[in-house]
Amino acid sequence: MKIISYNVNGIRAAINKGFLEWLAASKADIVCLQEIKAMHEQIPLLDFDALGYHHFWYPAQKKGYSGVAILSKQMPDNVVYGMGMEEYDREGRFLRADFGDLSVASIYHPSGSSGDERQAFKMQWLADFEQYIEKLRQERPKLVLSGDYNICHQAIDIHDPVRNATVSGFLPEEREWMSGFFAKGYVDSFRELNKQPHQYSWWSYRANARANNKGWRIDYHVLTQNLKPKLKAVDILPEIKHSDHCPVVVEMS
């Protein structure tokens, strides 16, 4: 099973840059999208039908903002929209699909980069998200939590850890949250198999960052510990350029 997570930074913009052609060639079984930035009526749904995907969209209430989606070749047994928390659900941040005993979620964690208020919102989200997932795991023990976490976990995950130490996305309290979350029995699938530096999934549009590979690894497939034996391969695809992010891949048996 091949699962891809991709923050497309606007599904319509990505489609204009060849996203659908890439998707057809990707051979992905499940694709989790973040930042779709579109309402249902703005998405060419028939194009996704034509590619053989069942597709589920969870846009934000605010137009042109946030939103997540899941595309899958197999029809899920069940799809759950949101976490039942209005302050997050109106921003379209969490969508889950169940396939047998496996659940896959597409998640868009908030960014705190616009200022103190959103940083506080992000930290509250992290606490609430963890609590929600811990409860969900009692009911659905096999979880793949895919998406844009908006946090680099360790120094190896960011091009300039020293100068970014006080920047949202690499703050000590964010990194500490992630360490604590992993310690509860969750696995950063990429780092489980790839310990190499300079592996990034997002680059600023400024200062030629992508061409110089001055990036951040903020997109993850986080697995519950019980799925670790099924982990076969991981990849990051920086050559795919429909967005300021690139797709991240996990393959499981």
The DSSP bridge partners found for residue 81 are 95
Single out the residue of 136, 114, 99 nearest to residue 1, CA to CA.
Answer: 99
| Intra-chain end-to-end CA distance of the chain, in Å | 6
For residue 27, the number of C-alpha atoms closer than 13 Å in the C-beta half-sphere is 2
Quote the tokens at residue 74: 């197999």
C-alpha distances in angstroms, 92 versus 37, 75, 215, 251?
10, 21, 26, 26
Cβ atoms within 10 A of the Cβ of 76, count? 19
* Two structure tokens written together for 185: 């029995």
Question: Mind telling me the catalytic residues?
Answer: 148
Q: CA-CA distance, 82 to 107, in Å (whole number)? A: 10
